Amino acid sequence: MKKICLAVVGLYLNLVAVFAQPSPTQDSTQYKNRQLKLEEVNLVSSYYHQEGGNSSVTGGIGTEKLTDIANIIDVKFAKYDKQLRKHTFNFELGADTYTSASSDMIDLKANSSASSHDVRVYPSLSWTVENEKKGTTFGLNASASTEFDYKSFGFGASFSKKSTNNNREFTVKAQAYLDKVSLVYPVELRTSYTGNANGRERINYATTPRNSFSGSLSYSQVINKNLQLLFLLDLAWQDGYLGLPFHRVYLKDNTVKVEALPSNRFKIPLGMRANYFLGDKIVLRSFYRYYHDDWGLTAHTADIETAIKLTPFFSVAPFYRYYQQSAVKYFAPYMSHTASDVYYTSNYDFSKFHSHFVGAGFRAAPPKGIFGNQHFSMIELRYGHYIRSTNFNSNIISLNLKFK
């Protein structure tokens, strides 16, 4: 019922990424296996829990307690064609099971409603073809996501070009998401209501579209054997129903309305990554992003991760992120909006705040495999703690198993 859109989880997974060391151009005359081959399988499980006191479902006050258990399987196949181009196929299937005390308050009179828990399923498929001789890679992807009140379908394309010596790479990406939001209003604002014994409403909710389109440009450069840089520019446009129908807003006169936001939004993020290799055992990974949109939100993100190789096969990676943002011009706390306001929200994701995210990852990849099993090639455990200045905090722990 409640669409989970957790920047914390996204950042947490992004921190795993690291620039690969450039490798010499392969000799295209050598034999390439043209049979489709399973390259690797990744199994990722995570547990997420949050607490807070500014629920959007109850107008900016009340519990934000939520737990989410996610499981993802990622399978990669590869083969070479007659032109010695490498084709890579990725299939990913994820499922989240979550319980949400705040979403349960869509129906203020229910002891436990259908809104209190849900399952989100999200498969995706991607294909890339790499011409190692020319240094070009082209890719396509498609994805879907479904839960009780939200349906999404996405598709995209990408193209990248490397320099002859592999020290530079330019990438362009385009992505689109065509979504449907079910209009599940707070129970007191519905024109009719029918329930059944198990709490799942017998209502065919109307839906409304929400579309998101984005383009991305990136340029990476190997400065020397120790320093690698990456520059990012994203442009994103959304149109359609951009609020959520079960987010209440209480006005100064104590009347209640449904969150109302503009039907379009333009976003401009700019970013830079820098990786510095301190010998063979320590890698410093840093990132900065500036963000601005036409709703008046401006944000700054800075994070750093230090990967330390304790032994040739075991490493630890502590990380820290600082984030701050201004409020959108349509935000106001509980009972602060007036009836004359055209747009209004009490969603604290749109408020002014700053946050800290700190944690560490532990990775083991022995050459003979985990427990001596060469197919079980890597195990990684990561933990992160997030705290926000708006009386909000969360914890996430994940386990990644890689098989080859």
| Number of helices and strands in the chain (H, E) | 1, 18
357 lies in some domain? yes
Q: Which amino acid, residue 32? A: K
**Residue 316, both tokens:** 């630890």
Task: Look at the chain and report how many structural domains it folds into.
Answer: 1
Q: Residue 49's Cα: distance from chain center in Å? A: 16
1 found inside a domain: no
Give a yes or no: residue 98 inside a domain: yes
Which domain CATH number covers 62? 2.40.160.40
3-class state of residue 335 by DSSP:
coil
65 part of a folded domain: yes
pLDDT on residue 25: 40
d(CA 74, CA 403): 10
Query: What are the C-alpha distances in Å from 260 to residues 189, 240, 246?
Result: 14, 12, 11
Domain assignment present for residue 2? The answer is no
> In one letter, which amino acid is 227?
L
Residue keyed to tokens 């201004």: 326
On whether the CB atoms of residues 130 and 160 are closer than 8 A, the answer is no
CB-based burial label for 244 (10 Å; 0-12, 13-18, 19+) = buried
Structure tokens, 256: 């209640």
pLDDT value at residue 115? 53
- DSSP of 291-316: EEETTS-EEEEEEEEEEEEEETTEEE
CA distance 37 to 30: 18
Q: What pLDDT is attached to residue 32?
A: 65
Asked if residue 371 lies in contact with residue 313, where contact means CB atoms within 8 angstroms, the answer is: no
Separation CA 272–CA 231 (nearest Å): 5
- Integer Cα distance of 302 and 279 in angstroms: 24
Whole-angstrom distance between the N-terminal and C-terminal Cα of the chain? Answer: 37
**Cβ contacts of 246 within 8 Å, gap of 6 or more:** 1, 57, 103, 106, 115, 184, 185, 186, 258
Count of Cβ atoms closer than 10 Å to residue 116 Cβ: 21
Q: Is residue 29 part of a domain?
A: no
Question: Domain for residue 299, yes or no?
Answer: yes
Q: Please report the DSSP string for 186-211 in residue order.
A: -GGG-S-----TTS-------EEEEE
Q: How many CB atoms lie within 10 A of CB 202?
A: 8
Name the token pair of 150.
């939200």
Rounded distance, CA 61 to CA 75, Å? 42
Q: Which helix (H) or strand (E) holds 392?
A: strand 392-403
Pairwise CA distance, residues 213 & 257, whole Å = 29
**Per-residue pLDDT at 10:** 46
Inside any domain, residue 22: no
CA gap 129, 82 in Å, rounded: 13
Phi, psi of 17 (to 5 degrees): -70, 150
* Full pLDDT tens readout for the chain, 404 residues: 444 444 444 444 444 433 333 344 444 445 566 788 999 999 999 999 999 999 999 999 999 999 999 999 999 999 999 999 999 999 999 999 999 877 778 877 654 454 568 899 999 999 999 999 999 999 999 999 999 899 999 999 999 999 999 999 999 999 999 999 999 999 888 875 544 444 445 567 899 999 999 999 999 999 999 999 999 999 999 999 999 999 999 999 999 999 999 999 999 999 999 999 998 899 999 999 999 999 999 999 999 999 999 998 999 999 999 999 999 999 999 999 999 999 999 999 999 999 999 999 999 999 988 988 989 999 999 999 999 999 999 999 999 999 99
54 lies in which domain range?
A: 7-16+34-403
